[in-house]
Amino acid sequence: MREDSSAIEKAKALDEMLRRATPPEVIEGALRAVGRERLALVSSFGTESAALLKVMADVDPAIPVIFLDTGFLFEETLAYRDTLFARLGLRDVRTITPQEETLRREDANRELWFSDPDACCRIRKVEPLKQALAPFDGWINGRKRFQGGLRAQISVVEADGIRLKFNPFAKIARADVEAIYAEAKLPPHPLVVSGFLSVGCMPCSSRAKPGEDARDSRWRGRSKTECGIHLD
């Protein structure tokens, strides 16, 4: 998505204002800048998602939460979504899915993940999210610098085309995430006990090996490290 010059300037100003803010303060700043009706949080309901959802719920549980059901998710992830929905008192969780016509045309055999994972992510994640975010001027996500790779240098506030993208957890440490879970007694994702550090679609997620970072277990054996929703 091509960045809009006005969004770039606004993102720079907000990042300067919020780069030393706590995660709740970043979400509060996003609400002031965009307004609840024009702000959404995008969550995978993955292994670290409950921490950000808890922080958001403490600020404003009515902020819309967008959840991408790609058709390839673990049943445990769908159950975890429902658990956190009730546990945190989230008032507006919106589950979105890929277009059936697109799936029939481009992935009728459900094997695109193997032959062209970028194309699979495009039709199952990138394009549905683009449509879901159309009514919004800003969105919140849970990326963290400690996850490494392309995430190591992310700002607290970025321009994402014509929208603002807020990264409340950009500068926190893994220990901070663990502390949020412990303090709030948040339930872990059901697959953590099985050795999953990062959970996405079933075909492209695997158990972590000793010494690996969470992202190492996604798209194993490929150079791919991102699904595409955070790429230009």
Whether pTM > 0.95 for this model: the answer is: no
Name the helix (H) or strand (E) containing 77.
helix 75-88
Residue 232, in any domain of the structure:
no
Residue 102, in any domain of the structure:
yes
Name the helix (H) or strand (E) containing 13.
helix 5-18
Compute the distance between CA of residue 138 and CA of residue 29 in angstroms, rounded to an integer.
Answer: 11
Residue 222, in any domain of the structure:
no
- Residue type present at position 113: W
**Angle at alpha carbon of residue 124, lines to 121 and 126, rounded to 5°:** 65
Residue 58, in any domain of the structure:
yes
Catalogue the long-range contacts made by 13-18 (C-beta closer than 8 Å, 24 or more residues apart): 14/157, 14/164, 15/155, 15/156, 15/157, 15/158, 18/156, 18/157
Check which CATH number belongs to the domain holding 113 and give it: 3.40.50.620
157-160/163-166 β-pairing? antiparallel
Query: Residue 228 gets which letter from DSSP?
Result: S
Residue 99, in any domain of the structure:
yes
10 Å CB burial of residue 5 (0-12, 13-18, 19+) is exposed
- Host domain of residue 156: 5-193
Residue 205, in any domain of the structure:
no
Number of domains in the chain: 1
What is the pLDDT tens value at each position of the chain, 232 positions in all? 455 778 999 999 999 999 999 999 999 999 999 998 999 999 999 999 999 999 999 999 999 999 999 999 999 999 999 999 999 999 999 999 999 999 999 999 999 999 999 999 999 999 999 999 999 999 999 998 887 777 778 999 999 999 999 999 999 999 999 999 999 999 999 999 998 888 999 999 989 888 777 667 787 878 777 776 676 6
Query: Any catalytic annotation for residue 120?
Result: no
pLDDT of residue 1: 45
pLDDT of residue 107: 96
Q: Which residue in 120, 201, 204, 227 is the catalytic one? A: 227
26, 164 Cβ separation under 8 angstroms? no
- Residue type present at position 224: K
